[in-house]
Structure 1
Amino acid sequence: MIKKLLSSIREYKKDTILTPVYVTFEAFFEIVIPTLMAYLIDYGIIKKNMSNVLWIGLALVITAMISLLVGALAGRSAATASSGYAKNLRRDMFYNVQKFSFSNIDKFSTGSIITRLTTDVTNVQMAYQMLIRLGTRAPVMIVFALIFSFRIDVHLSLIFLATIPVLGIGLWLIMSHVHPIFVRVFNTYDRLNNVVQENLLGIRVVKSYIREDYEEQKFAGISQTIFRDFSKAEKRLAFNMPLMQFCLYASMLLLSWFGAKEIVASGNNPAYGLSAGDLTGLITYAMQILMSLMMLSMVFVMIIISRASAERIVAILNEESDLKNGEHPVTTVKDGSITFENVTFTYARKADKPVLDGISLFITSGETVGILGGTGSSKSSLVQLIPRLYDVVRGRVTVGGVDVRDYDIESLRNQVAMVLQKNVLFSGTIKENLRWGNENATNEEMIHACELAQADGFIREFPDQYDTYIEQGGTNVSGGQKQRLCIARALLKKPKILILDDSTSAVDTKTDGMIRQAFKNDIPDTTKIIIAQRVASVQDADRIIVLDDGKINAVGTHDELLNTCAIYREIYESQNEGGVLHE
């Protein structure tokens, strides 16, 4: 895990290395200050030697200024290193998510991925900054302070060493009890984000069904769970401060007691034992050691919090797409012919029942094929295998005579345009959304695609026409308008295969018919697969496939299926009154 996390440092290695270097110098000069203070007291103030007071005082000022300077440099480099590291972590996670297949994405909820990209990365960033700065400063201060204090008095310095195992055992006990709680808390954060996301995306449904109270209760329940877990963790972490204070005050009392006795015994003469200046220096070193131990405890607490976050981040970074290119992928799709050869497919490898079972089908290039079936008949699952959004469990799918697993994934998907059931438009102008299909498309090409998709008419009615801004999620256009824009976007790819997955459900039958007629006239060489609920949307297709429970029930033309397929005839009759399709 550590190796994976450190790989994201990259160009910020220099600042990461410089921070401990600056901190080491800062700590050294801070450690020198108590020794200079001891000299000032013993050889300047007590002996009333103003010359020594001035020179030692000047040395104190210079030492403090140098310590301040390198401390500022350490702060700047630590901030740069930690911020840059967080930036790289988010980039690496986001880029890896872009490579995920649908099955990989199914393992993580959207809310969970967002939490990992935000809260978890922030926790790791804070821990990283504290580690390279305070995590270096505290041990260096302890080592230097012990060296200088042992130079003054070995026996009294042993008091410091006695506190270290007490603190170490206490911190270990706290850490072992708190870490599992934080693991649970961040998983609960995922649930909270999912609830908020669902609520905001479905706010119209919530309001239309007057379910605000239910949503508030659901949110409050999860928030209360987070509150309880965080409170429990913070209560256990709170033992850290009393433990530190106990060690600090115990050390001060013992130092003062034994130090005072030694000063009396030596007559406050540095030559014969401990002096007042030495005791002042020892007390300062004791404070520095114990403050450094307190810093270490803060670092440990942050590591406890961030450890759970780090594990969740690494889970995203280590996740590998189960869809990969072969050693020598094919980059050219010859034509739009499609073959399903005894295909079996399941979303979960250990599923009891396959989603698609024994599918065998051949579609010629340029053919228009309709797919009909009831809800849950696996119509969408079938077409998602063509651009290799999922891989088959058994059998194979070929496009242009080549197994889709042998293609370069990007090359294959560039030749397969899909308009999904859930039409998605992004924030930006209509032109920017259309150029998702072809980023180099000219205005004339965009207009032509919109004419084929029957979108040009309503776009012209907008004040800004093709420069009209689409709000997030396409909330300022109707469902039918959104569908037609998505169809136009797909047409701009000029694909060899066009798949419409129930993507004209929100347009009237007349417009639907005009779209199909435009396809027939303008893109005759493109293989067109149309999934629909309405018979009118597919009845002019070259062939219609009827799916039932993941299997092909029948294949034929409209007239053939009316005579031979009970399922098709039932759908047809349910959508007719007096044998005439609604127009």
Structure 2
Amino acid sequence: MIKVLKYLKGSAAICAIIAPLIMIIEVAMDLLQPTLMAKIIDVGVANGDLSYVFRIGTQMIIAAFVGLIAGVGCSIFASIASMKLGESLRQGLFDKIQTLSFLEIDMLKTSSLITRLTNDVTQIQNMVNMGLKMIVRAPFMCIGGLIMAVALSPKLSMVFVYAIPIIVVSVIFILKKSLPLFKSVQEKIDKINIVMRESILGVRVIKSFAMEENQGERFDEVNNDLRDESIRSQNMNLILWPIATLIMNLTVVAVLWFGGNMVNSGHIEVGKIMAFVNYLIQIMGSVIMTINIMMNFSRAQASCSRINEVLDTDSSIQDSKDPIKINNFDIEFRDVSFRYNKHSDNVLSNISFKINQGETVGIIGSTGSGKSSLVNLIPRLYDASKGEVLIGGVNVAEIEIKELRENIGVVLQDSILFSGTIEDNLRFGNDHADIDLMESSVRDAQAYEFISSKENTYKSEVEQRGRNLSGGQKQRLSIARTLIRNPKILIMDDASSALDMATEAKLQESLKNRMKDSTVIIIAQRISGVMDADKIIVMDDGEISEIGTHKELLINSEIYRSIAVSQLGEEVLSIV
């Protein structure tokens, strides 16, 4: 909790200090009321002195009004502090997540990270909001009430010796039982987010296979799990309320019983008994208030541990302490092996090859042969498990990450676009690009025709994930977004799979002219996408099967030859 509360800084920290200070005023006014009431009964009413009643009554009204202003002020400052804490904590979590590598994000899971950014932060926000109002009120009211009650009648105050310890023991026992349950509730929310996310993103697949009922049952299962776990956690805590209420009512009965006897024997006045009962209610109310704080604290504590798990996670990919500048953009793999985690098998084994600056290299192979995993090692999206990946003779681990990735342009298999305009998405690649650079990139990516046909051209809206664009349009926009960076190394990871053959041929020709001084790596499923490359790497089951030109591979590689024949027909072998 302390680590999370460090995000309470600046104006939020000032508000967090002011709120409980103002609450002290409200508590003082509340504690004053029963004593004033006792004076009215024992002096004013007993002696029939109406002027005294009105004078003390006016003091009670003033005290109530001052307490009201203090209470409202405390609520305002507490709300400001908690909202600012939530804002700062969400920003801190978001910034931390951005620094994590794919390995840590895979481990923490996307759906869980969303829950931590939203639901868990909200739990802490609510706890701070309540705590700032109650953390002073509850103990001050309890201690102040005890002092005032003892001052009225030390003998009657003995009832607290029995009542308060019973509640304290109950609170400690229930909290120890409830904390694991609240953590489990948050994990159940993670599972709901997983199912929801998969169902929303995969809605087309679900409808295509008429699996709506199946997904409904799947959601119903995790939803019921969350319901049952929430009921268990709440039931455990709600046991405290009847216990506290029972003890409070029994204590009131005891005070009235013994106090009535004391009134009859002339040891205490009726007004003091009424004041004592009010102080008793205030004391027990503060105890119940403390229970409420503890209930929220136990849930917030579970959320804190989940948030701290993210904040304490360091990226496995770190900048070198003494980074080395890149002088050229040759790429070399030296005996590289890679696996996604220590429990998985190698997806790449003993990979060695070199690409000279300015060369265009194609990578081809069957699905799951390790093509995408291989190119992910170049911009350090993952680190090699063994061996070295070098650019310009320098291990990528010794190059500053920012400099490395600024010089590499990657067009991924999944063309992810962001909500906004076409221009917004293009400028994602280069925020300072002028209109000429933007237009030349769009033309080279073969996207100019469909953009210019839109009524608002570059200002046309793009929906979330580019839902209002076709697959080919999304791919061409993604390519243009990368070209606008003028990268020294361009990686095309099956980035033209949705394009027709004619458009793909134009794209290849424009890339050859634009990127002639850059290193280009093209992953493709179609032979036509790589056959003109300077050399082609054939991947098979995480290893390099063969390297050569199109013609050489038709002669030397059985895998490449079978792919070429299946796609282009037997006549492709006539060039051999």
Per the alignment, residue 396 of structure 2 pairs with 404
In 2, are the aligned partners of 1:404 and 1:412 still within 8 Å (CA)? yes
Q: Which digits, 9 at most, give the CA deviation of each residue in 1:239-272, with x for residues without a partner? A: 1221011111111110001111111111xxxxxx
Q: TM-score, normalised by structure 2?
A: 0.97
Per the alignment, residue 345 of structure 1 pairs with 338
Could you tell me which amino acid in structure 2 is paired with residue 8 of structure 1? Y
Give, in angstroms, the shift of residue 22 of structure 1.
1.0
Alignment pair present for 1:436 and 2:463? no
Alignment pair present for 1:324 and 2:323? no
Per the alignment, residue 367 of structure 1 pairs with 359
Per the alignment, residue 334 of structure 1 pairs with 327
Give, in angstroms, the shift of residue 535 of structure 1.
0.8
Could you tell me which amino acid in structure 1 is paired with residue 7 of structure 2? S
Could you tell me which amino acid in structure 2 is paired with residue 221 of structure 1? E
SS of the equivalent of 1:540 reads coil
Per the alignment, residue 490 of structure 2 pairs with 498
Q: Which digits, 9 at most, give the CA deviation of each residue in 1:333-369, with x for residues without a partner? A: 3222111111121110243x32211111111001000
SS of the equivalent of 2:340 reads coil
Per the alignment, residue 383 of structure 2 pairs with 391
Q: Which digits, 9 at most, give the CA deviation of each residue in 1:302-353, with x for residues without a partner? A: 11222221111111111111111121223x43222111111121110243x3
CA separation in 1, counterparts of 2:475 and 2:74? 55
| Residue in structure 2 matching 1:458, options 441, 447, 450 | 450
What aligned pairs does 1:522-541 form with structure 2 within 5 A after superposition?
A: 522-541=514-533
CA separation in 1, counterparts of 2:129 and 2:161? 27
Q: Which digits, 9 at most, give the CA deviation of each residue in 1:395-450, with x for residues without a partner? A: 11111222111111111100000001111000011111001110011111111001
What aligned pairs does 1:146-185 form with structure 2 within 5 A after superposition?
A: 146-185=146-185
Gaps of at least 5 residues in structure 2 are: none
CA separation in 2, counterparts of 1:567 and 1:492? 36
Give, in angstroms, the shift of residue 194 of structure 1.
1.0
Could you tell me which amino acid in structure 1 is paired with residue 457 of structure 2? Q
In 1, are the aligned partners of 2:493 and 2:524 still within 8 Å (CA)? yes
In 2, are the aligned partners of 1:333 and 1:415 still within 8 Å (CA)? no
Alignment pair present for 1:122 and 2:122? yes
| Residue in structure 2 matching 1:281, options 247, 259, 275 | 275
Give, in angstroms, the shift of residue 179 of structure 1.
2.1
| Segments of 4+ moved more than 3 angstroms | none
CA separation in 2, counterparts of 1:527 and 1:545? 15
SS of the equivalent of 1:323 reads coil
Per the alignment, residue 285 of structure 2 pairs with 291
Could you tell me which amino acid in structure 2 is paired with residue 476 of structure 1? N
What aligned pairs does 1:125-140 form with structure 2 within 5 A after superposition?
A: 125-140=125-140
Per the alignment, residue 265 of structure 1 pairs with 265
In 2, are the aligned partners of 1:480 and 1:506 still within 8 Å (CA)? yes
Per the alignment, residue 244 of structure 1 pairs with 244
SS of the equivalent of 2:265 reads helix
CA separation in 1, counterparts of 2:392 and 2:422? 33
Q: Which digits, 9 at most, give the CA deviation of each residue in 1:29-72, with x for residues without a partner? A: 21011111111111111111223222212221221121111111
Give, in angstroms, the shift of residue 112 of structure 1.
1.0
Could you tell me which amino acid in structure 2 is paired with residue 377 of structure 1? S
Per the alignment, residue 57 of structure 1 pairs with 57
In 1, are the aligned partners of 2:564 and 2:572 still within 8 Å (CA)? no
Give, in angstroms, the shift of residue 291 of structure 1.
0.7
CA separation in 2, counterparts of 1:100 and 1:145? 52
Alignment pair present for 1:568 and 2:560? yes
Q: Alpha carbon RMSD of aligned pairs, Å?
A: 1.3
In 2, are the aligned partners of 1:160 and 1:289 still within 8 Å (CA)? no
Per the alignment, residue 269 of structure 1 pairs with none
The farther-off stretch of 483-492 and 567-576 is 567-576
What aligned pairs does 1:35-114 form with structure 2 within 5 A after superposition?
A: 35-114=35-114
Give, in angstroms, the shift of residue 580 of structure 1.
4.8
Alignment pair present for 1:480 and 2:472? yes
SS of the equivalent of 2:157 reads helix
The farther-off stretch of 158-167 and 483-492 is 158-167
CA separation in 2, counterparts of 1:226 and 1:251? 38
Gaps of at least 5 residues in structure 1 are: 267-272
CA separation in 1, counterparts of 2:512 and 2:117? 46
SS of the equivalent of 1:575 reads helix
The farther-off stretch of 45-54 and 365-374 is 45-54
CA separation in 2, counterparts of 1:342 and 1:158? 80
Give, in angstroms, the shift of residue 547 of structure 1.
1.1
Could you tell me which amino acid in structure 2 is paired with residue 305 of structure 1? R
Q: Which digits, 9 at most, give the CA deviation of each residue in 1:534-565, with x for residues without a partner? A: 11100000000011111111111011111111
Per the alignment, residue 270 of structure 1 pairs with none
Alignment pair present for 1:212 and 2:212? yes
Q: Which digits, 9 at most, give the CA deviation of each residue in 1:5-40, with x for residues without a partner? A: 111111211111111111112111210111111111
Could you tell me which amino acid in structure 2 is paired with residue 328 of structure 1? D
In 1, are the aligned partners of 2:565 and 2:572 still within 8 Å (CA)? no
SS of the equivalent of 2:380 reads coil
Q: Which digits, 9 at most, give the CA deviation of each residue in 1:374-402, with x for residues without a partner? A: 11111001101111111112211111222
The farther-off stretch of 131-140 and 534-543 is 131-140
Q: TM-score, normalised by structure 1?
A: 0.96
SS of the equivalent of 1:503 reads coil
CA separation in 2, counterparts of 1:161 and 1:516? 86
Per the alignment, residue 511 of structure 2 pairs with 519
Could you tell me which amino acid in structure 1 is paired with residue 209 of structure 2? Y
Q: Which digits, 9 at most, give the CA deviation of each residue in 1:187-237, with x for residues without a partner? A: 111111111111111111111111110111101111111111112222222
In 1, are the aligned partners of 2:34 and 2:275 still within 8 Å (CA)? yes
Question: How many residues align structurally?
Answer: 572
Could you tell me which amino acid in structure 1 is paired with residue 166 of structure 2? V
| Residue in structure 2 matching 1:557, options 549, 556, 567 | 549
CA separation in 2, counterparts of 1:123 and 1:104? 24
In 2, are the aligned partners of 1:22 and 1:74 still within 8 Å (CA)? yes
CA separation in 2, counterparts of 1:299 and 1:474? 45
SS of the equivalent of 1:444 reads helix
Could you tell me which amino acid in structure 1 is paired with residue 97 of structure 2? V
CA separation in 2, counterparts of 1:579 and 1:178? 73
